[in-house]
Structure formats: C-alpha cells, structure tokens
C-alpha cells in the first residue's frame, strides 16, 4: 500500500485490504497500517478534519461490505459472522492508524506554530529582527505595529510558561473581551507578557487584573508592571524594558504596590544614576529627622504614606495604623525639623524626592 497507489475515492488500497481480510480473516499487516498512518497524516496536511476522514473510510466500508468476497460467498450465518468479526477488527485497526497519522501531523503543526510564535516573541521583545520583516510577521499573530503599543509584565511565585493554567486563563479572558486583534499574550523568562495598543483603553489594566486573580491550577501573579506606550516595533522593546525595570525597582525599593506604572517611577532611574548626589540630598533634607522622638524612621514612613495616598490624611493614617491626630502631629514635626512644609507644593516635592532617595539607599537603617 503506497501513498501514490490511490483509488478513485482517495483511500489508498483500503478496498484491497478489506477484500483480503474478508477472504483470509487476518489482521492488517504493519506495512499496511503504516500506509494508513501516512494517509491520515497527508489528509491533515490537506486540511481534512479527523471526523471527515474517518467518515470517508466508514462510508467506503459500508459501500463495499456486501460485495466483499468473504461476505458474498459465506456458506451460512456462522461463517458470515466470523467474516464480519474479522472485518470489524480490521476496520478498527485501520481507523486507529488513520487517527494516529492525523494526530501526528496536527502535533507537528502545533509545534511548528509554537516555535514560530516563540521566535517572533523573542525578536519582538529584544528587537533582534529587521523592523520591516518583524512588522510583516506581527500581522500573523494579530499585531499591527504601525501605531503605539505598550507592554505589561507579570511575575509570580512560580515560573509561567505557555502551558501554565494562569497563562492560558489570562489569554482566554483577554481574547474573549478584546478579540484576537492587536493583543498578544505570551511568556518570556518565566514571566507573563502582554502587548497591546497604547490607545486601547483597559487592555493592559484588564491583563493586570486577570493575572493577579486566583483560579484553578497554578498560583496567580503577585505583581504586574506596565510600560509606557511607544511607537513602532522598537517602541515595544522600550516599553518591555520599562516594565522589567519597574519590577526590579519594586524589589529594590520594597514597594508593596501589586500594580506598577513605569510612568510613575521615572524619577528613580534618575536618582540611581548619581548615588553621591542622592545621598547628599537625603542628608541635607532628611538628616534632621534623626532628632525626632523614636528617630527618623517614623517620620520618614509618614512621608512615604502621605505620598502614596496623595495626602489624604485619613488613608495615610490608616496605612500607618495611627490616628489622624497623630499623623497631623508628625507632619508638623517634619516641618519643624527640616524646614520643609508638606503642605507647600514645591517643598513637598523636595521632601518626597529625598524620601525616595532614602528608600533607594536604605536610610536610615544603613548609614549614608
């Protein structure tokens, strides 16, 4: 049974196999089953579904049944039953071989598609491909890189891969809500990544919500960082690097926020470039806080809490687990010791910038 020796119905030498089985009662040989596997594989490559493929062979079996030599010449009911049993065993083996070949081709196609997708994601996030060619490939995966795109990156207590339950759930939720155009969900280096148009409201915020929502299977992400929108394929790389930088800063600064926006953290890279100047800023602005009762830390934590809550005193007090009256006393003490008034816009900015530097340098726990 060779692939080229096809009958009018395109079923290989299946009719010859059934005829011989009806005469002899034997099972299909290995080479015959291998030929059927190849036919199943070829059908998958030609776009024939498994149900349609099996239907063709079962229809051919039914069409030939009454004309098969062993059935037509059977001497009695017992012989017909014995022949029928042998034929059904052969059909069962043939269908299994066809299905195996069809599935083998499908698995190969999936692996090739996954490899192409993985290569595209690597090139997209690292900018290692010709931009024109990259834009062409992006269309295949539902992205149009002409406009602005932003990248969100989620990380959790365990590594994410393409088969991780969280990754599959997040992709399913996003595609169900936003469709399969211009939203790409992938994994990279154990993290979950989403690329979406910068002007598409809610896509990356929805990704952050879905990634941090617990569900069946693996554990959800603990933190998500969102880069800023940038234009073109190179903009995707920039936004991705910003999101990664935000995650690194969160660890370094011990930030508790589960969702980070790179746009809100732009001052930190600037501070980190000149640690000597940053230390001098902390020393000159916040150094007097060491004279406060209990040292500098309670007053420094007050600045951090007020900055994080946009100076909503009730919320800042709740975070600090103190009364609003105590918070007001601390703010007055900060003004008294440093000379900077938290109620004044420019002076507040100086205090907050110095407080950021203190967090970067680990002051007051570590000396400047």
3-state per-residue secondary structure call for 154-180: EECCCCCCCCCHHHHHHHHHHHHHHCC
Backbone angles phi, psi at 270, to 5 degrees: -65, -45
**Comparison of pLDDT for 199 and 85, the residue scoring more:** 85
- Check residue 2 and give its pLDDT: 38
- Check residue 333 and give its pLDDT: 94
- Check residue 346 and give its pLDDT: 82
Spatial distance between the Cα atoms of 197 and 155, rounded to a whole number of angstroms: 21
Distances (CA, A) of 92 to 97, 210, 283, 288: 9, 45, 83, 87
Is-contact 309 319, C-beta < 8 A?
yes
Model pLDDT for residues 181-239, shown as the tens digit of each residue:
678 888 899 999 998 887 556 889 999 999 999 887 778 999 999 999 988 888 888 89
Model pLDDT for residues 269-327, shown as the tens digit of each residue:
777 778 888 889 899 999 999 998 889 999 999 999 998 888 899 999 999 999 999 99
The 8 Å CB, 24+ separation contacts for 12-18 are 12/36, 12/39, 14/57, 14/60, 14/94, 15/60, 15/64, 17/90, 17/94, 18/61, 18/64, 18/68, 18/87, 18/90, 18/91
Total-model pTM: 0.59
């Amino acid at each position: 049974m060779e692939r080229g020796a096809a009958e009018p119905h395109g079923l290989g030498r299946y009719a010859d196999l059934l005829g011989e089985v009806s005469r002899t009662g034997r099972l299909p040989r290995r080479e015959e089953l291998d030929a059927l596997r190849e036919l199943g594989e070829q059908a998958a490559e030609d776009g024939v579904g498994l149900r349609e493929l099996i239907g063709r062979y079962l229809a051919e079996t039914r069409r030939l049944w009454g004309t098969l030599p062993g059935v037509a010449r059977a001497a009695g009911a017992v012989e017909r039953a014995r022949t029928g049993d042998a034929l059904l065993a052969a059909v069962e083996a043939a269908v299994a071989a066809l299905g195996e070949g069809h599935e083998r081709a499908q698995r190969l196609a999936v692996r090739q598609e996954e490899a192409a997708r993985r290569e595209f994601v690597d090139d997209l996030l690292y900018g290692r491909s010709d931009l024109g060619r990259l834009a062409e490939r992006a269309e295949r995966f539902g992205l149009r890189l002409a406009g602005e795109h932003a990248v969100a990156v989620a990380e959790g207590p365990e590594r994410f891969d393409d088969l991780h339950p969280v990754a599959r759930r997040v992709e399913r939720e996003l595609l169900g809500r936003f469709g399969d155009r211009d939203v790409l969900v992938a994994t990279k280096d154990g993290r979950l990544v989403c690329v979406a148009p910068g002007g598409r409201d809610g896509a990356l915020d929805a990704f952050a919500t879905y990634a941090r929502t617990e569900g069946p299977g693996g554990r959800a992400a603990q933190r998500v960082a969102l880069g800023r929108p940038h234009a073109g394929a190179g903009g995707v790389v920039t936004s991705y690097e910003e999101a990664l930088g935000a995650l690194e800063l969160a660890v370094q600064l011990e930030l508790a926020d589960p969702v980070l926006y790179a746009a809100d953290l732009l001052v930190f890279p600037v501070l980190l470039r000149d640690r000597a100047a940053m230390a001098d800023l902390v020393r000159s602005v916040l150094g007097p806080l060491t004279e406060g009762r209990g040292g500098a830390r309670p007053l420094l934590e007050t600045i951090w809490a007020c900055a994080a809550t946009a100076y909503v005193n009730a919320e800042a007090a709740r975070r600090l687990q103190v009364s609003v009256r105590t918070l007001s006393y601390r703010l007055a003490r900060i003004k008294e010791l440093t000379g900077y008034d938290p109620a004044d816009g420019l002076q507040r900015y100086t205090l907050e910038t110095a407080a950021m530097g203190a967090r970067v340098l680990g002051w007051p726990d570590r000396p400047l």
